[in-house]
Amino acid sequence: MSGIHPFRVLRAKPLWIANGVITGALAVLFTVFYVGANIDPVDHMKNLPVGLVNADKGAAVGGKQVDLGARITESIKETTASGGKIDWKVMGEKQMKEALGKGKLYGALVVPADFTSATTALTSAATTGTPARPTLTVLTNQSAGSVGSSLARTATTQAAESASLQVGKELTSQGGTGQAKLPAAARVLLADPAAVTVEDGHPLDAHSGLGLTAFYYALVLVVVGMLSANVISGQVDHALGYTHNDMGPLRLHRPLIRATRVQTLAISSTLMAGLSLLMGTLVMVGAVGLMGMHAAHPPLLWLFSVCAVAVSGIGALTLLAVFGTPGMLVVTLVFIGMAVPTANATTPIQALPGFYRFLAEFEPLRQITGGIRSILYYDAQGDAGLTRGWVMMAAGLVAAVLFGFGVLGWYDRKGLHRIPAETEPEKTAALA
């Protein structure tokens, strides 16, 4: 017994400094990652993919073929080209529907087949009653992300309204005195001829969380793998006798079983791989069976879930084994701090600052979210994110194995073995 009161450790400056540096760094990093990534998505937005479809067949006016749809699409591309916030993808209706159905577009603007004929009809002196306005259709895509879909909707609606005013300006400047013979309602509409309607371009099931179930489901898989790694790491150390296991007021300890660092990681990884079958199954049962989440392709969803938990868990185990006690902080930053803002779920990658777009290329949550989104919303199409999900998970597993076993093997070769602290007093007493 030293006779020193435990509370006297609070006088130790290193205790305050070490904990202050660590907790302060966490506070700053999480603020930077979460707030910094989402503080101004409109200003950071660049090349958000939006479809632009001209289905207008044109019409013969005064012996000439007129195609107002082509004028609109060209005008939209020219007026928005300098900003670079929207990447207009000119395509046909079939291509547009396929792209929406793969999450390649956040929205679309469609000029209908009768746009020219309906617009020029407003200039007819024979028009009576209230003329029918031509329509420009704005399509949203919540399955690609609610924030991205909202940004696309706003930009596309503004473009459609500006295009309508431009067409109206052209019609009024070309109409001459004949416009005076038009009904009053037609003259008013002629200045802004097109009505803008908004529709869902890729409808989802009611139990799809407005396109967010894929993100939250993927987040659960990553968090389960990450937290399970912490539990498994501790329990393996206890089973080998390297650490105590406190159960409330009880402290349990097992006889020491000497194991190299490489052997310890191999044991932990094997346990994680086996238990991922249980965890992945229970996550799916909880989400689909208990909560009623809409889920297409259940067998594929189960397999992907199990693999996602296993890869996340083994990756976390690697960081814990390599970095030791600070490893949990590293795990938290990699799997949560940097991952959530770059998951391409709440905020699209195209609306993130450049640094976060770089992180999104390899952050695990983004890859897993893309795979889950493909399974749940896009009929498990490979080019809708599923292929990338599988490839990046495999790459992540290989990287974790090479990094973990490589570094730990070097530790072992250097003689940096794990010696439990409780054996030190015994050695000291024996030497005395």
Q: For residues 415 and 19, what is the distance between their CA atoms, to the nearest angstrom?
A: 29
Using DSSP bridges, classify how beta strands 86-90 and 64-66 pair: parallel, antiparallel or unpaired: unpaired
- Alpha carbon of residue 202 to chain centroid: 18
**Interacting residues of 422 by C-beta distance below 8 A, sequence separation 6+:** none
pLDDT for the residue numbered 245:
81
The CA distances from residue 165 to 71, 77, 124, 171, 177, in Å, are: 12, 16, 19, 10, 20
pLDDT for the residue numbered 191:
75
Q: How many CB atoms lie within 10 A of CB 295?
A: 21
**pTM of the full predicted structure?**
0.88
3-state DSSP of 26-66: HHHHHHHHHHHHHCCHHHHCCCEEEEEEECCCCEEECCEEE
Q: For residues 154 and 175, what is the distance between their CA atoms, to the nearest angstrom?
A: 32
pLDDT for the residue numbered 182:
56
The CA distances from residue 387 to 161, 304, 368, in Å, are: 38, 11, 11
Q: How many CB atoms lie within 10 A of CB 378?
A: 24
Q: How many CB atoms lie within 10 A of CB 255?
A: 6
Q: For residues 144 and 148, what is the distance between their CA atoms, to the nearest angstrom?
A: 7
pLDDT for the residue numbered 224:
96
Question: Counting every residue, how long is the chain?
Answer: 432
Q: How many CB atoms lie within 10 A of CB 323?
A: 14
- Alpha carbon of residue 346 to chain centroid: 6
pLDDT for the residue numbered 358:
92
pLDDT for the residue numbered 411:
95
The CA distances from residue 429 to 296, 306, 423, in Å, are: 65, 50, 10
The angle formed by the CA atoms of residues 13, 19 and 25, to the nearest 5 degrees, is 130
Per residue in 174-204, pLDDT (tens digit) is 654 445 555 555 566 677 788 889 999 999 9
pLDDT for the residue numbered 425:
46
Token pair of 397, please? 């597993």
pLDDT-flagged residues of the chain (< 70): 1-2, 79-82, 123-131, 173-189, 420-432
